Structure 1
Amino acid sequence: MALTVAHRGDPYVHRENTLPSVRSALLKGADAVEVDVRLTLDGVPVLLHDPSLDRLWGHPQAVAGLTSDEVFKLGGGQLPTLHDALAELLRHARGRMLLDLTGADQAAPSLAAVRDAGAQERVYYCGEATAMRAVRDADPAAEIALTWKTSAWPAPALLAAVAPRWLNLRFGLVDAGTVAYARERGLLVAAWTADWPRSMRRLLALGVDSVTTNRLTALQRLTGPPAA
């Protein structure tokens, strides 16, 4: 059965990419929690999808132009560092964390945070080619889900350089042909972000290996109860 991946935690219950959101998803039995990483001006990885604090925290400043202390204050103390998120992950006996990286500069600080936390066995990485090349260069053992958004398949040279375990596809791209393409290359298939039962059922029927969703409980109704 496909793994359940909670997109940015449990965002219909708690604000996305916060510790309560991560905790809620883990307590509900998500197989993995996907979180987004951005770097502050002083190089601290924090959990945030957008380049600025505007949408979630009401401040237009770009996180890359703020120190970690400034981000903490503007986020009302609720915008967590990756260090804090990994500590939360390790408080739970099961579940993994999927770090979504948008740039090559995020790779080394994120990998360092994971190493410092001793969380290597419970973390894997997703993102587009540049970021994933940087992860692979920094850690030959890292588990990578190469994010792909077009119907043109990754070049063989790219697959060889990144050596992903997963092909991480926008859910609308997943069909029998794409699943066969991945299987022929020894890749697992991850689909994101499916929020409606009809889409979830289609993906499960195609035999994908994981589904990322904002609606974890709805997906779990289809995949069955979480493992003990």
Structure 2
Amino acid sequence: MRKLPRVVAHRGASAVEPEHTLAAYRRAIEFGADGLECDVRLTADGHLVCVHDRTIERTSNGQGVLSTMSLAQLESYDWGSWKRPWADLDENAGPTGADGRRVLTLETLLATVRDAGRPIELAIETKHPTRYAGRVERRLVEALDRFGWARPRPGTESPVRVMSFSWLSLRRMRTAAPGLRTVLLMDRIPLRFRDGSLPAGVSYAGPSLEIVTTQPDYVDKAQKHGHQVHVWTVNTENDVRHCRDLGVDAVISDRPDLALQVLAEDV
């Protein structure tokens, strides 16, 4: 039997909990996800926080550009009520405490992975362009160093991989922490990489679901070049089955519980 893809929770179990909150990641771990995915952005005072957008309006009750704000400012906002505005009135509606409403620092997420009680992968996406450019990667390496995950010892592997649509970001990571795995995210395949190859030093391919749907042969091409294929964002039963049948190595999903249930059909 072909090996089943690993299931990575996209921004946590973000279909059922507010994305990028500690509650979303804890729920994904409870579901049995093999890995977690997060985006990181740098605050004005140098903290990495797990937020996707450049501005904070969509996922908090604040306004403004994240990179101009301090961590203390971000912590003053509610990051969960947009998902379930009536949660306070329904004890079964979801998280009402800090885990579901407080901005999440990367440091807290790293500690959550460390303390999970079982091996958990963590895929960290650096968001670009940003006013801070290479400072993002420097801060990321510093954070991973505090957990011993930036420079794994010979014969060991860090649970962390770094993803980006920016090849420059991945190149910075390769220079600063050459032992870390990197993933080139793609919403289209550059012409020179359509044979399945990747830029020097990039470990894995990260194509969109649309790519592997319209160009299913890409998976085999990339794997023949020795690259794993991690597909985003895979949220329906049919799409999980499609990725399984193609033999992808990981699916990144807002619904890790659904993906795990579908893949369990093959066990």
Q: TM-score, normalised by structure 1?
A: 0.91
The letter for the 2-side match of 1:63 is L
Mapping for residues 177-188 of structure 1, pairs under 5 Å? 177-188=217-228
Q: 2:198, 2:222 → 1: CA distance?
A: 14
In structure 2, the CA distance between the partners of 1:110 and 1:38, relative to structure 1 (3 Å rule), is same
Alignment equivalent of 1:136, drawn from 174, 191, 215: 174
Measure, in 1, the Cα distance between the counterparts of 2:14 and 2:182: 24
Give the equivalent residue in structure 2 for 1:109: 139
Cα distance in 2, alignment partners of residues 86 and 51 from structure 1: 22
Deviation at residue 192 of structure 1 after TM alignment: 0.3
Find the residue that maps to 2:223 and give its secondary structure: helix
Q: Distance in 1 between matches of 2:120 and 2:169?
A: 24
**1:34-73 mapped onto 2 (5 Å cutoff):** 34-73=37-76
Q: Deviations over 1:145-197 (max 9, x none)?
A: 1111213345599611xx12210000110143211220232101111001111
Query: Which residue does the alignment assign to 2:123?
Result: 98
TM-score (norm 2): 0.78
Distance 2:191 2:13 in 1: 31
Distance 2:180 2:207 in 1: 19
Pairing 1:118–2:142 present:
no
| 1:193 paired to 2:233 | yes
Query: SS of the residue aligned with 1:51?
Result: coil
Letter in 1 for 2:141: L
Q: Quote the RMSD (CA, aligned, Å).
A: 2.1
Amino acid at match of 1:212: I
SS at match of 1:42: coil
Q: Assess if the C-alpha contact under 8 Å between 2:5 and 2:250 holds in 1.
A: yes
Question: Which 10-residue stretch deviates more, 124-133 or 29-38?
Answer: 124-133
Distance apart, 1:64 and its partner CA: 0.3
Change (3 A) 1:223 1:158: closer
Q: Which residue of structure 2 aligns with residue 207 of structure 1? A: 247
Name the amino acid aligned to 2:163. C
Contact 2:198 2:205 in 1 (8 A): no
Task: Give the Cα–Cα distance (whole angstroms) in 2 for the partners of residues 54 and 158 of structure 1.
Answer: 35
- SS at structure 2 position matched to 1:59: coil
1:102 alignment partner AA: K
Q: Which runs of 5+ in 2 are unaligned?
A: 80-97, 151-157
Question: Residue 91 of structure 2 aligns with which residue?
Answer: none
- Aligned AA (2:143): A
The C-alpha deviation readout for 1:79-112, integer Å capped at 9, x for no partner, is 0111011111111122111101113432111121
Q: Which piece of structure 1 moves more, 57-66 or 149-158?
A: 149-158
**Counterpart-to-counterpart distance in 2, 1:109 and 1:66:** 17
Q: Select the structure that is richer in helix.
A: 1
1 CA distance for matches of 2:192 and 2:73?
Answer: 39
Share of identical aligned residues, percent? 25
Partner secondary structure for residue 224 of structure 1: helix
Q: Which has the larger radius of gyration?
A: 2
State the secondary structure of the residue aligned to 2:260: helix
User: For residue 122 of structure 2, what is the amino acid of its counterpart?
Assistant: M
CA contact (8 A) 1:52 1:59 kept: no
Which residues of structure 1 form unaligned runs of 5+?
none
